[in-house]
Every structure is written in C-alpha cells, then in structure tokens.
Chain A
Amino acid sequence: METSIGLLVAAPLLGAAVLLCGGRRLDRVGHWVGTALAAASFVLAAVLFADMLGREADERSLHQHVFSWIPVGGFQADVAFQLDQLSMTFVLLITGVGTLIHVYSIGYMEHDERRRRFFGYLNLFLAAMLLLVLADNYLLLYAGWEGVGLASYLLIGFWQHKPSAATAAKKAFIVNRVGDIGLSIAIMIMFSTFGTFAFGPVLDSVGETGEGTATAIGLMLLLAACGKSAQVPLQSWLGDAMEGPTPVSALIHAATMVTAGVYLIVRSGAIFEAAPTAQTAVVTVGAITLLFGAIVGCAKDDIKKALAGSTMSQIGYMVLAAGLGPIGYVFAIMHLVTHGFFKAGLFLGAGSVMHGMNDEVDMRRYGGLRKYMPITFVTFGLGYLAIIGFPGLSGFFSKDKIIEAAFARGGTEGWILGGAALLGAAITAFYMTRVMLMTFFGEERWRNAPAPSPERPDVEPVAQGGGEYEVPRPHESPRSMTVPMIVLAFGSVFAGGLFSWGDAFVNWLAPVTTFEHGHPPISAATVTAATVVALLLGVGLAWLQYGRKPVPVVAPRGSLLTRAARRDLLQDDFNHVVLVKPGEYLTRGLVYLDHTVVDGVVNGTAAAVGGLSGRARRLQNGYARSYAVSMFGGAAILIAATLLMRAV
C-alpha cells in the first residue's frame, strides 16, 4: 500500500504533462483524459481509505520514501510521502471535489477553445495540492505550496485577454509571494535549529528549543497561512481571484487551496502549542477575518464576490479553531470538509446561474430565477441552509462546535472570540439570505435593460460585448453541470451529521491532531441556542431588507460602512497607501542610485574593458613574424620566471 501513495500525485501530474505538452491533437479528448486521471486518483484514494480503515488507529499512518532529492552532506532533502488520517481527509476532499469539478467543467468550458489547457492546469493543481498534503517534510510541502500558487495564478488569469483577469492573477501571485516568504523563512529557521525538515523530528523536538524560536517559526507559518488562505492582512487577492472561471473559484478558491493555510497550522500544531504568542496571533487573525469577510460579503452585488467574502469568513472560522489548540483542531478540519462541500456547491450553483444568464454576475440583475432553474435552485438552497448553519445540516454541526470551542478558550479572550464567532454567524445568515433572495426570489429584474450606474465602480460591466442589451433566457444547465451540484448538495446536507454521529470525525482525527474536550463557561446547549437565535436574526433582517421590499436595480448609495464594504473595507486603498506608495518611492530612489552610482561603475568598467580590448587586439596584427616574436618573448619570460622562482 505504501508504494501507491506516490501514484496519487503521479496520476494528475501525468495528466498535466500530457495535456500541456500534447498539443492540439488532444483537443478533442483532453477533457476526458484530465477527468479520467482525476477520477483515477480519487479511486486510488478511496482504496487507500478503505485499507486505512481496516487497520488500528495508531497503525494508520503510512510512509513512502521515493528518493533523496538533494543529498548533500548534512542537508538531506527527501521526496517522501506520509499518509495519515489528516492527509487522508484532505486527499479524499481534494480528489473527490476535484473530480466533480472536472466533470462540471466539461460542460462549463464546452465553448472555450482552450479547454484542453484548462484541464491541464486543473490536473496540475490537483498534483500540487496532493503533494502539499502528502509531503512528510516542510521542504516538499513548500514545493506543493508553490505549485498550487502557480496553478492558481494560471487559472485566475485563464482568460488573460481580459485585462482584469490578468491583473487579478498578478495580484494573487504577488500577495501570495509575501506569504510564501514567510513559509520559506520558517523552513530556514527550522533547518538551522533542528537540522531537518521532516515533520516528525521537527514537531517532536520543538518543545525543547525555547519559546523564542517556536514563536518565530509560528508567526512565519501564520504569515504563510494568511497569504494562501486569504486572511487579514493578506486577504486582498481573493475577491479579485473570482475573475477566474467559476469551476476554478469552486475548487481552488473555495474548497481546497485556500484551506491549505488551515492544514499548515493544524499540521504544525506542536509548534503553536509551544508558542502561546503565536497562537494568540492565529486566533486574532481568524476572528478578525471571519468578521471582515462577512461584512464584505454583505455589500457585494457580484454573486461570486459575495461568495468570496463568505469563503474568507468561513476560513476565518477554521483558522480561529486551529488557533485554539487541541480543543479546536478537529473542528477546524471538520468545518473545512463540510465547507468544501457546501461552498463548492454554492460556487457551482453560481456558475450555473451565470451560465443561464449570459455570464451576468450582478445579483441586482437577477431575481425570480427559481422557476427557470429548479435544480440549481434546490442545490443552491441546500448549500445556503448548510452554510448559515440551519440545524441538522452540515454547517450547523461544524460551526456550532467552533463557536463552543471559542467560548471554551476561557477568560475574557474566550468571551471576545466566542462573541465574534456568534456575530459572524448572524452576519453569515444575513448575507447568504441576501444572495438567495436577490437571485432566486423577487421580481425578474433582468427583463429590462439596466441603467448605467456610475455609483458602482467596483462591479464589472456585464460581459455583453458592448452591444445592445440582450434579455437573457434563463435555463437549467446541462446534466454534466447539474450532477456534480446534486452530489455536492448531498454532502452539504449529510456530511456534518455523519461526522458527528458518535463523534466519528473526532475519533478518526484525534490520533494525529490530538483532541481535548473544551469546557465553555456556559453550557453547550446555551451556545447552540444562541447560534440559532443569531441565525434567525440574520435571516429576518435580510428578509426585511431584501424580501419584503423590491430590490433596486441600481444600488443605492448606502451608508459609509456599506460603501467601504463595497470597496472591500478599503483594503486596496490601505495597501496602496501603506505599501505601494512607499514602495514606489523606495524603488524610485533605488533606480536613481542605480543609474548614477551602480551604472556609473558598471559602464565605466565596461568602457575600460572595451578600451583595453581594442588596444590589445592591435597586437594581433596578422604577421607570423610578430607572433613568433611574442612566442619567443613568452618562452624567455617563462624560463626567466622559473629560474627566478628557484633563486628566491
């Protein structure tokens, strides 16, 4: 069984290689090849899962050493895989959701002439993501980490002919770079402290190195997680990343890649436990982000950007849980998996709506769509109920546990975190209800051409090619798109309940991540009741604003907070003022320095070499006699020098 772990990565990697190098000959079968290899990886994962279940809890971890990548003296970088319960969870999520989204993309990308390339990139992403979660050391994890970053860049910018997509891809890449530097510094500190990258030795001995080192590593890992998982302060790229095709948003920017930061924190749990300061930083980041994302989600009229704000917020929950230590790890991962189902389902639903609406993304130009796309409506609706934490559905179980755990942190901190999480749940209910009402209920606002709206600079003009407004004819999407949505809807409904049945998920992960029961200062039932009240409050408010009154086609000016939230709470303005401007001045100064000082030296040297060269080549005059003289002189000098050496 050990030897087949590598195949999990190899199958999609092969797909990427074949599809990207294969050329146009594969255009007609490319998407089938890509989907088949993703499915193969999923089947293999299922087999490994079955095998793993057949073993005792403490014998479930498998290792495969593939080869020594860079064996130089004390520097031992191995390509080795580790498949334990935590990796297994991710592998199943990645390959399962990944395969569904491959299937969905067959329909969604049907009319794109670069479909083969798209599937190649998707396969590349799967390979890199699997490498990330299967690595048994930080260096190999870093390789996967960079790999998913690359795939994400390529896929966000897949429609690179749109300047907005190309810019979004660059933005994602650059912001992620900041996080990646954190990871690389963390790895360097690990190597200089422990002399190895492997999870086992590093995590076992981190407790003995002193808190300072652990804090440094922890904060750097947190920086990395912030970049990849779009947490404050490195969150700004996720909204723009929605420029990518919708299946990409579903797979990479909702279900899998953006959760890599949570994986990293949970995997490195021992480091954070040894560094309370870093742990506090993690929960702070999580709490701030979960509110930040939720507020942004309330103000967006672009359906995908609203969902992106929601993703940010939900990952904030996971990071918060991961920062709580053993009382939260399991729930962080559980929420990650349930979120993988319902958020991917919601995105696919959004894609299906766009598919039927001439690629319109502005929810103010939707309305009353439930009649026209019933399957999308039902699956999206189930995802909606799951994400707001409707009792009995997936999101309820996982989110409720996180809120409980946040209260269980204890002290003032516990109250603040728990309160934030509770408030987040209310806001989640509000913005998701808003999305639901604006899209599927109310009057059919898409029937009339919209007025130009100078008030909404943040919302892209519709992709109608600048021509006359064309009234869309909403219709249900093809089977290849609806089937994955239905499958994911099942996950949205049942996964949470299944996981909580007899604490199945806790028992499954506890051997890897460790688990303790948290004891909140108020009873668990009270917390649950409060969550439900918050939920009802959010839904009710949304109903008052968007259900009872007609939704204006042109967004009203709104309050100061609304306007700020539409601009992503001014995050880009903040980055522009705090980072971009000073950076510009710095580079200008450096350029000046470069021109005057460095170039002066360089050009001076070049001129000197050139001049010398011009003089020296004159010795090469073409006459054999002068060559002979030079040889004679050379030999004389040689002899003289040799004799002189002996003399001294």
Chain B
Amino acid sequence: MSTTTEIVLRAQETIPAPDIEYGQLAPVLIVIGAAVVGILFEAFLPRRARYVAQTLLSGLALASAFAAVVGLAVAGNASTEAGLVAMGALAVDGPTLFLQGVILLVSLVSLFTFAERRLDPRAHGRHVDSFAAEGAAVPGGESEKAAVKAGFTTTEVYPLLLFAVGGMLVFPAANDLLTLFVALEVFSLPLYVLCALARRKRLLSQEAALKYFLLGAFSSAFLLFGIALLYGYAGTVKYAGIAEVVADTNSGVTEALAATTGNDALLLTGGALLLAGLLFKVGAVPFHMWTPDVYQGAPTPVTGFMAAATKVAAFGALLRLLYVVLPGLTWDWRPVMWGVAIASMAAGAVIAVTQTDVKRLLAYSSIAHAGFILAGVIAATPAGISSVLFYLGAYSFVTVGAFAVVTLVRDAGGEATHLSKWAGLGRRSPLVAAVFAVFLLAFAGIPLTSGFTGKFAVFKAAAEGGAGALVVVGVVASAVAAFFYIRVIVLMFFSDPRPGGPSVAVPSPLTSTAIAIGVLVTLVLGVAPQYFLDLASQAGVFVR
C-alpha cells in the first residue's frame, strides 16, 4: 500500500512519460521513418543504386502505411474505438483515417509520376526524370552542365515527398494548435524545395518556389499569430479545451486563469487569423494568388501531388477546426466563410476563362473547386462533413490524373503546356485526349464522373444546411467553369492539329498506371458511388 503511494508521489514530482499509442500512430511513423531511412540512403548508397532503392522504399512505405490505415479502420478506430492519442495531440477518428487513406493513395499514385523516367529524352545516354540534375547548380551554369553530363538526378525528392506526406497525415489529425502548426511546417517546407527542382524551365521553377516560400511563411505567421491569440483567449492550445471555453463550460482551469480568459475579441481575431492561414493552404480567395504561379512553375508531378494531397490535408484540418474548436461560433464564421466560398467559386471560374496555359487553367480550376468544397464545409451538418470527405477523395484522383496527362504532351522544350499547342490532340493521340477529356468532364461535374457525384453531395449538403444561395452561386460558377473545360475538349477534338505541334510521349507503366487509376476512380465514383458515399458518411464523425 505504502509503495503505491510512494510511486504516485514520485510521479507527481517528475514529468510524466507520455503514453504513445504506437498502433494508432503507425501510418505516420512508417512514413516519417521511411523518410529518415531515405536520407540515409542518400548519404550511404552509391548514386546508381539510389533511384531503385528510393522508389521501392517510398512505395513500400506508402503502401504499408495505407495498410495500417485500413487495419485501424477495420479495428474500429474510425468509429467505436475512435479517440485521442499521444497525450491528446492527435485525434484518430473517422475523418482522420479517411483522409489519411486518401492522402496515402494519392501520394502513391503521385510517386508513380515522380518515378517516371521515360518521358524526357535521354541525357547523355541516361534516363532522367522531371527533376533537376543538381538542385543547387545555377541554372544554365557550368556546374549544371557537368551534372547533366554526369547523369545526376535528384533522388532526394523521394525522402522530401515522404516528409511532406508525413506532415499531411498529421495535419488533419492534429488535435491541438501547436501540433497543427508543426504539421503545417513539416509538409510545407519539403514542398517548397520540391517546387524548385524542375529539370526544364528552372528559373520559372525557382521563382515559383521562392514565391511559395515567401507567401507560405507569411501565411504561417498569420496562423501562428492566430494560435497565440487563441491561447490568450482560452489558456490552452487543445481543441477540446478551447471549445469548452467557447461554450463557457470550462472546468479544467483554475479560478485565476478563468478570470483572464474568455475575451471574445481575442477569440474572433485569433479564429479569423487561423482560418486565413488554412485558407492559404487550400488556395481560397483572397489567399489564392500563389496558386497559378506555383502550379505553373513547379515540376508537373509535384504540382499534381501538391494540388491533390495538400488540399485534402488542409481541408481536413479546416473541418476539424470548424467542427471541433469553433462549433459554438458557427454564427460568427459562417457568413465570413460564405463570402470566401462565393469569392473563390466566382474568381476561380471567371479568371480561368481567359487562361492560355494548361497548368494555370488547372490552378484556377482548383481555386473554384476550393470554393465548391467550402460550400460543403459551411453546411455545418454531418452530411456536410461526409460530402466534403467524398469530394476530396474524388477530386484528388482527378487532379493527379490530369497533371499526369499534362506530363505526356511534350515538344522540344519539355512539356507543351500552352493551350494552343493542344489543338487537334484528339486526332493525333485519341486515347490521351479522351482520357484528359474524362478528367475535364469530371472537373466540370458532368454525370457519370466522380465530379458530378461530389458536387451533387456538397451542394445537397449545403442546401440542406441552409445555404441555398451559395448553391445557386455554385451552380452558376459551375456553368462558367464548364465553358473552359469544354473549350479544351473542343480544342483537342475539333481543331486541326498544328504542324510542328507537340507529340505525346509514350510513358512507362508507372505513369500509365497513375493515369489508369485516375480514370478508374473517376468513373467508378461516378457510376457506382454508393459504397464510397456510405464510407464517407460513416467516417464523418469527429472525436472530441
């Protein structure tokens, strides 16, 4: 008896060792662990062996992490066993596992496009990928030429990818503001570097990376400031704690602390800044300006990965923030988010109309889609959550697939992204053009594609959640957006090919697989979506 007391006393004196639920954290740990091993590969493996070793390691890590997610979901962690892990830092629940699963699958598909080595013409007899021979070499300089001649490739992209994925896995699961911030930085920093690593058009790529980094840092500052203000308001960074203070049912804090907390100005300002930081990541108006420049400049496989996975992770975090931390403030954040959603849908759709570059077009389309997804977020109902989850899953595969197609259309200067060069593509390469048309139709939300199901789900949820006007704007914006998607289809199939236009490179099975998966998911989710809708609606409950 006395020994027990002694232990209890001792425990109170020292810092308690945290309980770590390795099982629930397995997806994150596997990916981060593999990233660390990847760094070791870079340090110790000979250059020749790195490509194979890195791709295998990354593929294995992503696949086994996905298996772990499925295992957790089967074990009930998405529903009955959902709970907080790592001393409340992370929440493992339905939305977390759903989004982690989507992120891992999309990353795996992206990895295929990263590893593609057949598209670029051989450099001095060696297969090369989309990434710079040597990231640090000055574009056009002597050292770059030497690196190209030596056949170098930047295999560091694989560990960078894994680190980014690791951060993204944590982001939607983060259950306190500090973890949220750390996860944000963990996935942002590798993305900045990846953006700078294009093999062709390196100056554009580096410019994009620098812009992304500067603006990303700026938005992180907003986020951090918002975190500080919220801490000042609630006296805690834990989601549940803040929610309690908001709901005025705080029990855990002392009297003294309680007297200093609960200042609504701090709460509202902090909440708004936090939202600003997250809206930057999803690319919503007015925090969208980086999107076209970065999407255009980054190596296309990176663009595809970033456009898909970042959006999934950031919307996951946004959902958790709004539904767990700020549900008491629904009436405060909803009107503001209405404005953001409308602005995003309208601006994305309208500006896209006059774009002449495929990648910029897709960037503006992603802004409009951020608006559509926000419409589901605003619904503030369980149906809203599940519709957003479904939309994210559907949209991310379409995006990765579409950017993978972009990597195929090439001329002497690398990828031919100017739209005028795509004229008549349907006559020269009917299959590629048809696949791209499927993706465009999915973006436009035409029935029998996943885009329709997703849009229908979010608009339905929004209308039921009392945001009918938003749905009207959404439908009008969809109509405007349909114009430029279909314009590309018309351009590909009904214009005469230009002499000297781009050719379609024959990819290795890697990119083909990526595109095939994209098409398959797009069609399956469009034709027979019921199972996945059910899955999303089962997963749509946050643990508090």
Contact = CB atoms under 8 A, between A and B. Distances in A.
Interface of A: 606, 609-610, 612-614, 616-617, 619-620, 622, 624, 626-628, 630-631, 633-635, 637-639, 641-643, 645-646
Interface stretch (B10-18, B69-77, B269-277): B269-277
Nearest to B276: A635
A578 B214 CA distance: 73
B531 to A, nearest CB: 15
Interface of B: 210-211, 214-215, 218-219, 222, 264-265, 268-269, 271-273, 275-276, 280, 285-287, 289-290, 292-293, 331-333, 335-336, 339-340, 347, 350-355, 480, 483
Given A630-B286, A631-B215, A624 B210 contact: yes
A310 B292 CA distance: 71
B219 A631 contact: yes
Given A609-B480, A624-B211, A627-B211, A642 B272 contact: yes
A10 to B, nearest CB: 21
B350 A609 contact: yes
A642 B332 CA distance: 6
A581 B332 CA distance: 63
A431 B395 CA distance: 67
A417 to B, nearest CB: 50
Main secondary structure of the interface of B (DSSP, over half): helix
A627 B350 contact: no
7 contacts: A610-B353, A613-B353, A616-B350, A637-B286, A642-B333, A645-B331, A646-B332
Contacts of B354: 610, 613-614, 617
B218 A628 contact: yes
A645 B265 CA distance: 12
B332 A645 contact: yes
Q: Lowest 7 A-B CB distances belong to which pairs?
A: A634-B286, A627-B289, A613-B354, A635-B276, A613-B353, A639-B272, A642-B272
A646 B268 contact: yes
Nearest to B285: A634
A610 B222 CA distance: 34
Contacts of B273: 635, 638-639
A645 B215 contact: no
Contacts of B222: 631, 635
Nearest to A632: B218
A75 to B, nearest CB: 16
Given A620-B292, A642-B333, A643-B265, 15 more contacts: A613-B350, A616-B351, A620-B293, A624-B210, A624-B211, A627-B211, A628-B215, A630-B289, A631-B215, A635-B222, A635-B273, A642-B272, A642-B332, A643-B269, A646-B332
Given A624-B214, A634-B276, A641 B335 contact: yes
A612 B336 contact: no
A606 B326 CA distance: 40
A609 B353 contact: yes
Which has the most chain A C-beta neighbours within 10 Å: B271, B333, B350, B480? B350
Nearest to B354: A613
A614 B269 CA distance: 34
Given A627-B215, A630-B286, A631-B215, A642 B353 contact: no
A481 to B, nearest CB: 42
Nearest to A617: B351
Contact of A620 (B214, B351, B483): B351
Given A610-B354, A631-B215, A638 B276 contact: yes
Main secondary structure of the interface of A (DSSP, over half): helix
B336 A606 contact: no
Contacts of B219: 631
A66 B289 CA distance: 54
A630 B283 CA distance: 13
B112 to A, nearest CB: 29
A628 B292 CA distance: 15
B269 A631 contact: no
Contact of B286 (A609, A624, A633): A633
B125 to A, nearest CB: 38
B202 to A, nearest CB: 17
A622 B215 contact: no
Given A610-B353, A613-B353, A631-B280, A642 B269 contact: yes
A624 B209 CA distance: 11
B271 A642 contact: yes
Contacts of B350: 609, 612-613, 616
B336 A645 contact: yes
A643 B268 contact: yes
B347 A627 contact: no
A633 B211 CA distance: 18
A639 B286 contact: no
A138 B274 CA distance: 58
Contacts of A646: 264, 268, 332
A53 B268 CA distance: 81
Contacts of B286: 630-631, 633-634, 637
A639 B268 contact: yes
A638 B339 CA distance: 9
Nearest to B225: A635
Between B289, B293, B333, the greatest number of chain A beta carbons within 10 A of the residue's beta carbon is seen for: B289
Given A609-B353, A631-B280, A634-B286, A642 B210 contact: no
Given A616-B351, A641-B336, A642-B336, A631 B265 contact: no
A354 B52 CA distance: 70
Most chain B CB atoms below 10 A, which of A641, A643, A646: A641
A620 B460 CA distance: 33
Nearest to B214: A624
Nearest to A623: B211
A613 to B, nearest CB: 4
A642 B289 CA distance: 22
Contacts of A620: 289, 292-293, 351
Most buried by B among A610, A612, A626: A612
Contacts of A624: 210-211, 214-215
A641 B336 CA distance: 6
Contacts of A622: 293
A59 B286 CA distance: 72
A606 B292 CA distance: 23
A221 B351 CA distance: 52
A645 B272 contact: no
Given A606-B483, A620-B289, A622-B293, A613 B336 contact: no
A634 B219 CA distance: 11
B268 A634 contact: no
Interface centre among A622, A638, A643 (most CB of B within 10 A): A638
Contact of A628 (B214, B264, B331): B214
A613 B276 contact: no
Contacts of B355: 617
A630 B219 CA distance: 12
B351 A631 contact: no
Contacts of A610: 353-354
A99 to B, nearest CB: 35
A641 B483 contact: no
Nearest to B340: A638
A273 B145 CA distance: 91
B272 A638 contact: yes
**Most chain-A CB neighbours within 10 Å: which of B271, B276, B286?**
B286
A624 B480 CA distance: 28
Contacts of B269: 639, 642-643
A195 B363 CA distance: 48
Contacts of B271: 642
Contacts of B287: 631, 634-635
